Amino acid sequence: MLRLALFGAGRLGRQNITRAVETGQARLTAACDASSAAAEALAGDFGAAVCPDLAALLDSGPDALFVCTPPRVRREALLDAAARGIHVFVEKPPAYAWPDAVECAGALRRAGVITACGFQGRYTRALQRARELLAGRRLQATLSHGFFDHYVNDYWPSWYLRYADAGGPLCEQAIHAFDGLRFIAGDIAEVHARGAHRFHPPTAEHDAEDTLALSLLYADGALGTHTHGCANRAGGCGLEFIAPDVRLRVGWFGGPLGGTVDGVAIDEDPPSDPARDKVASFLTAIETGDRSLVLSGYDDACRTLAVSLAGNASLRSGSPEPVPSLENPS
């Protein structure tokens, strides 16, 4: 049975470890969090040890490290795990800043460890089915949207709405849409973004825009638009793919798949458990050595992060910005 260590004992850390243990493939052996109370509560539930810091956590001898901290404090954990040859599952976004992403991607690649990132949409049967239906097609455009209640529901941690901690709505929320778009329609080359504080003026505590609109240029020339909000009690999120004989709609995290392909109506809602499958595929990849089971490894997750960071750069510059690449980091 695989030994797991958890760095970051918050909501997502608990969710991921719960799903990992439920597979019967692994057990939690150690946990660490900036809040000792959070670490103790979670570790107590799983019969795991509490470690005072990252070094002690890695010294506990895990087969894999789950990194579920706020984005700004992930770099050290990823680099130290790579140095010790420990497999890594990291929540999205895979890094806070592009230099961190490039550094960590290189270290993890050289270490030869198996990596996974928490883009669970890829593990839904609906997105996989959409990808099958659109394989080899020349797309015309994509439409996507996401409207969430981060500003109006105290369920969400306050740091989600601080650029200094989470990287803004494009890195914390819209990144799921960009990953689904890339998974189905291919890489995005350029982003032009506009943002507004329509209902929530920026403060020292919360400076994220509550309304955003982006224009996307795909590497193959297709066009896309994404609209986004995080002050919406009546929310929802979706992806739409358009070509002369295609109009296909699907949620970020699965759900109903509908539309028309070559005159044939599509109305499917295949069952999925992506929160389980994103973790189970990682554990099975470690056990078998089959990396193809992981649908979002660290390198590919960084390519999705690059879209969000290009959007942030465009918000600052007011101009279209190129999406950086791992192959040409500058």
What share of the chain in percent tops pLDDT 70? Answer: 99
d(CA 283, CA 17): 11
Please say if the pLDDT value at position 252 is more than 70. Answer: yes
Q: What is the largest CA-CA distance in the chain?
A: 60
Residue 133 three-state SS: helix
The model's confidence at residue 271, banded by pLDDT at 50, 70 and 90, is very high
CA 306 → CA 25, 53, 102, 114, 273, distances in Å?
33, 30, 10, 21, 27
d(CA 169, CA 189): 20
List the domains of the chain with CATH numbers: 2-120+275-297 (3.40.50.720), 124-270+305-322 (3.30.360.10)
Residue 78 three-state SS: helix
More confident residue, 83 or 159: 83
Decide: 178 and 222 in contact? Cβ < 8 Å: no
pLDDT tens per residue across span 133-160: 999 999 999 999 999 999 998 888 888 8
- Residues 155-168 have a mean pLDDT of 89
Structure tokens at 301: 């997750």
Average pLDDT value for the chain: 96
DSSP secondary structure letter of residue 151: T
pLDDT tens per residue across span 202-227: 999 999 999 999 999 999 999 999 99
Angle (deg, nearest 10), helices 11-22 and 274-288: 60
Angle (deg, nearest 10), helices 98-111 and 75-84: 10
d(CA 185, CA 228): 19
* Bridge partners, 242 (sequence order): 141, 247
Residue 326 sits at φ, ψ, to 5 deg, of -65, -30
d(CA 294, CA 240): 25
Q: What is the pLDDT of residue 157?
A: 83
Decide: 43 and 31 in contact? Cβ < 8 Å: yes
Please say if the pLDDT value at position 330 is more than 60. Answer: no
pLDDT tens per residue across span 12-69: 999 999 999 999 999 999 999 999 999 999 999 999 999 999 999 999 999 999 999 9
d(CA 312, CA 315): 5
Those residues whose C-beta lies under 8 Å from the C-beta of residue 251, and which sit 6 or more positions away, are 126, 237, 238, 239
Radius of gyration of the chain (CA): 20
pTM above 0.75, yes or no: yes
**What angle is formed at CA 54 by the lines to CA 302 and CA 56, rounded to 5 degrees?**
145
d(CA 88, CA 108): 9
- Residues 290-312 have a mean pLDDT of 98
Please say if the pLDDT value at position 328 is more than 80. Answer: no
The model's confidence at residue 306, banded by pLDDT at 50, 70 and 90, is very high
Q: What is the pLDDT of residue 329?
A: 63
Q: What is the pLDDT of residue 327?
A: 81
The model's confidence at residue 177, banded by pLDDT at 50, 70 and 90, is very high
Strand order in the sheet with 49-50: 49-50, 26-32, 2-7, 64-67, 87-90, 115-117
